Structure 1
Amino acid sequence: MEDAAPRGRFSIWLLGLILGPVVLMLWLGRGRLALVYFLAGLLLGVALLFAVANGLITPPAWTDFGMAAVLFSIPFNIIGLVHGLMIRATALSRPWFSRWYAAIILPLAVSWLLPFLVRECLYQSYNAPSLSMVPSIVIGDYFLVSKAAYGYSRLSYSGGFMNFPGRIWASEPRRGDIVVFKLPRDNETDYIKRLIGIPGDRIQMKDGIVHLNGQALPLTRVQDIPCIEGERCNFFRETLPNGRSYVINNATQNGSVDNTEEYVVPEGHYFMLGDNRDNSLDSRFGEPNGIGYIPYENLVGPVTLIFWNSMGMRIDDRLAGYPSRLTTP
């Protein structure tokens, strides 16, 4: 460690505004303050996610979630900048981490590693690509998927860097879960549907009603959910034998797959349906053009939280903020 002249004001402004207070404090030789700002940044991120998910903050409709996080981090960076300017004259120690390359590389490595571990092992963020899950999930929704819920397979990880058979720490999914899974024909494309059938189930569509193991799933009309713009809507609450229920959209009578043959779910596979029954490519359509039955190892995990809609649609207004509000436990 060595003592030196105070850091220049221009460099403090540059680092503080662009790279943030963690890099700035490391560069000033204040390791403890850098750790405090790092932990404060984590808490700020969690608080932001909570505030957006509960409607306390509404990010601009023209941003995606990453851009919104950047916008909300600007006041945090300004606080760090002012703090750096205040301690500039007394921050004269130069430990190893205050070298410009260490001050930049160290937080970048940590900020990459921590989200990587969370994404690959705990929760991954997705956004809705289609209207196949209306009204539960619509275009512009951002949601978290629990990767630990069903255990891990080789397809749980990005980039194919893990390769092992079956699943570890496996747990069986439940009927009614909204599930993200890998498309079987390429094991890469992400799909999202509702899990309706487990191995051994017999499933058939008759006049738009799901028959599970010979019994029709009860439907109750729902009229207090606004229709999604550009869609035809006819909402019903569908109830599974395990008591779980959720809202579906059965917009038209005599749709192309309102009447089907009986499907028997093979061992180690699951049957998926979109909640928007007349606008969903799901297990009613077999391969190679459809998705067919979904192997257990292709399941990524269930949706646990819808936290934001980038199109400016208020989640509470359509009663789809959390899956538990459209799916009873």
Structure 2
Amino acid sequence: MRTPQKVNLRALDHDELVAFMAELGEPSFRAKQVEDWILKKNVRSFDDMTNLSKALRAKLSERASLGGVTLATKQESEDGTRKYLLKFADGVSVECVGMPSKDRLSVCVSTQAGCAMGCLFCATGKSGFKRNLTPAEIYDQVAFVAEDFGHRATSVVLMGQGEPFANYDNTLEAMRLLNSPDGLGIGARHITVSTSGLVPQIRSFSHEPEQFCLAVSLHSARQELRNELMPGVRKHSLKRLHDAMADYVNRTKRRPTYEYAMIAGVNDTEEDLTALIDFTKGTLCHVNLIRLNELPGSRFKPSSEEKIERFKKVLTAYGVETTIRESRGNDIDAACGQLRQRRG
């Protein structure tokens, strides 16, 4: 006789969990108790749910599982950054990163296993696309990292593996769960989602009620070059992206960030700088200049510090708020997808 498949409680939303408790003959308030153990305390065993009766814990153990993730590989940098390769129950693995700073902990998580966008300078796309992550799987990465550090996560960036807006509904649900007082209680303004520039989803995001932050991976403000570097967003032209971002700012009054990975001799010329100025000047935005993470065997190399500093100086002179991202984890597999490619 075939054993019935256990219900993964982490994959249930509140209403589904209430319904499951009713199946077990339990009152609805038990769902909130179980949610607290799963979401706030990240327990790995039903035996840890000490405010539930032994009889209920036994029923849960028989009928349900706690899902979650297991650690496949962890690397720790000299600067305290920790990079994780985590595995889900079906064997799919993703990367996430914990970045401590004084009394804060920032966590970078993945929203997809692999990526279909095909950006030429990114390690993730080389492994292909596996599947979307569920809201619980996105949330569990943050909970795992926070538990490993023994410190609550104070901010989250959804800019690990995958294109978050190609998994829009699950990504948004995960962000709301991270923000909820019933979840990890992270402030909406401390949760940032990064997209390569999917215009319809950016427009949808501008209508969401929460004050989540938005970052766009730009990497070139020249259409021909951006098409080459980022083939997955070819149909979303820079003109359409610019218009969508103007609408986003108008609706939300929030300052979006443009991520710009600087690649030697590719997107760091004077022509590229002029195009970037034209795209950003006079708009409410922040430009984040990034020294490219060099990948073994890649033809792309990071720009010199002098080039990066020049971009910052000139952009700032044109009134564009600009920073150079601090490099973290340079002595480990820092680039998105690199650890999974080597170890997964």
TM-score band, normalised by shorter chain: under 0.3
TM-score, reference length from structure 2: 0.22
- Tell me which protein shows more helix as a share of its residues: 2
Larger radius of gyration: 1
TM-score by length of 1: 0.22
Higher relative contact order (CA 8 A, sep 6+): 1
